[in-house]
Amino acid sequence: MGGATRPGYIADMSDAFTMPGGFRLLPGYFDRAAQQALIDLVVTASRSAPFWRPAMPRTGQPLSVQMTNFGPLGWVTDKAKGYRYEACHPETGQPWAPMPDTLLTLWREVSDYPAEPEACLVNWYAPTSKMGMHIDWDEEATDAAVVSVSLGDKARFRLGGPKRGGKTASMVLSSGDVVVLGGASRRCYHGVDRIYPGSSTLLSDEHFPGGGRINLTMRRVTIPG
């Protein structure tokens, strides 16, 4: 249709976005009790591996999210050395908290991958935080899906194609939802446009001042075997 308006329709076909293969949204995968148990694990992990605010490579510009990790490897970034995986927290020098069993079980159920995830990045979005469009590039095991869990406030998640600046689609992710970026979608741009502040009561002010959203992102980093 090449952009020509079709009589009787509001949208023309040039607006069409085809969802990349391997993308899956599993709404309400975790019920409220399971969400609470995951948040409790994040709080416990953050006692030994506190949330910190990482910096972009080269510019040193701070990210708008705070981070910690679970698992033998954790994703980190700083001005001097950039994006990478490290076995220890950049500020304490201590290992990350172990990967929770619930997350290993989720991975086995949805990743369709023959080895375990090595990293679970914990992103804490404040009400004003966003995540720019990006592709996850820092893993060797590019054949493994990325599996993520949304907890707390709703977020507008945006998915595009393999090239920057192409067409995108967006959807609202709610607490307990799971997203799987497998197959072709593993190499597609994605990001978070905004958080909907106050849309969930899961994150207590005691542990998460100002509230917001937690996203857990599991990844296989090294090639198994």
Q: What DSSP string describes 129-140? A: --EEEE-----S
Return contacts of 83-88, CB within 8 angstroms, 24+ apart. 83/57, 83/137, 83/138, 84/138, 85/118, 85/119, 85/138, 85/139, 85/221
**Phi/psi at 34 (5° precision):** -70, -35
Does position 131 interact with ligand SIN (CB under 6 A)? The reply is yes
Does position 217 interact with ligand SIN (CB under 6 A)? The reply is yes
Ranges within 130-149 binding Fe ion (CB under 5 A)? 136
What is the torsion angle, in degrees rounded to the nearest 10, for the CA atoms of residue 96, residue 98, residue 102 and residue 108? 100
Q: How many residues bind ligand SIN (CB under 6 A)?
A: 9
- DSSP-derived pairing of the beta strands 131-134 and 190-196: antiparallel
Name which of 41 and 180 has its Cβ closer to ligand SIN. 180
Residue 66 binding: pick among Fe ion, ligand SIN, none (C-beta 5-8 Å cut-off by kind): none
Min dist. Cβ of residue 4 to ligand SIN (A): 36
Residue 73 binding: pick among ligand SIN, Fe ion, none (C-beta 5-8 Å cut-off by kind): none
Residue 131 binding: pick among Fe ion, ligand SIN, none (C-beta 5-8 Å cut-off by kind): ligand SIN
- Contact residues for ligand SIN, defined by CB under 6 A: 123, 131, 148, 157, 173, 190, 192, 215, 217
